Amino acid sequence: VVSEVAARATQLLSQRFGDAIRVVVSDIEARDDDLLEAERPHVARAVPKRRYDFAAGRRLARTLLGPDVALPSMPSRAPAWPPGVRGTIAHAGGLCVVAVTEAATSLGVDVEPWTPLAPGTARLVLSEAERASLGPNADLDAKRAFCAKEAFFKAQWPLAQLRLDFLDAHVALFDDGFEIEPIVATPPAIEGRHRGFFVTVDDYVFAGLVISAS
């Protein structure tokens, strides 16, 4: 059973990602019985919540890529997508989102409960300049900025494999999107500003980002 929130999020994210990208959101079920052999070792010693999160991502990936597609994790913890596929996974607050494409682009997605980011955390993930540019609902905006940075981290990984810290990129927020730019030396593939989008549904915020692998 797909909740209304998950169904609506799937619809809105599909619109924002566009035709070349398939995306689906679901509620996270308390089960991991459908993990494939190649996937099980990655969560064999994990707590149940982590196993259910991991399994939800694999289940959704299979709805997009086919029932036999195994998705082990690499040592970096990024998923090992099948040849020719680029994808991204996020989970939080009982929701899981997976986006995939066969196009020459790199994807990043994140989902967070859209609650205020504690000021102490905001100071760790946002620079003074970023914090100064937040709107009147600064703590909620800070959560959007955090979400955008996590999505960017995932999107840059297949192209640049940088262990970026939160303060290594600058994000500027708009009503329904953001621009993010690394402020440390990077490979050309991820240099410059990248435009991403937000989708908000109920008490959740999603950030999505596509980096063209040109």
Ligand X SMILES: CC(C)(COP(=O)(O)OP(=O)(O)OC[C@H]1O[C@@H](n2cnc3c(N)ncnc32)[C@H](O)[C@@H]1OP(=O)(O)O)[C@@H](O)C(=O)NCCC(=O)NCCS
Q: Does the protein bind ligand X through residue 3 (CB under 6 A)? A: no
Paired tokens of 81 = 């997508």
- Specify whether the CB–CB gap between 39 and 32 falls below 8 A: no
Residue with tokens 């020459």: 104
Q: Choose which of 6, 65, 90, 142 interacts with ligand X (CB under 6 A).
A: 90
Count the residues of the shown chain that bind ligand X, applying the rule CB under 6 A. Answer: 24
Instruction: Give phi and psi for 143, each to the nearest 5.
Output: -65, -40
Min dist CB 152 to ligand X, Å, is 5
Q: Considering the rule CB under 6 A, would residue 197 count as an interface residue with ligand X?
A: no
Q: Is 115 in the site for ligand X (CB under 6 A)?
A: no
What is the 8-class DSSP label of residue 196?
E
Read out DSSP for 36-91? -TTTGGGGTTS-HHHHHHHHHHHHHHHHHH-TT---PBPTTS-B-PPTT-EEEEEE
For the segment 128-187, give every residue that binds ligand X (CB under 6 A): 149-150, 152-154, 157, 164-166, 168-169
Q: Where are the alpha helices (DSSP H) in 70-160?
A: 119-125, 128-132, 138-160
* Cβ-based nearer residue to ligand X, 12 or 152: 152
Nearest CB to ligand X, comparing residues 19 and 37:
37
Among 23, 24, 39, 53, binds ligand X (CB under 6 A): 53
User: Between 139 and 166, whose beta carbon lies closer to ligand X?
Assistant: 166
Residues that bind ligand X (CB under 6 A): 53-54, 57, 73, 76-79, 89-92, 110, 149-150, 152-154, 157, 164-166, 168-169
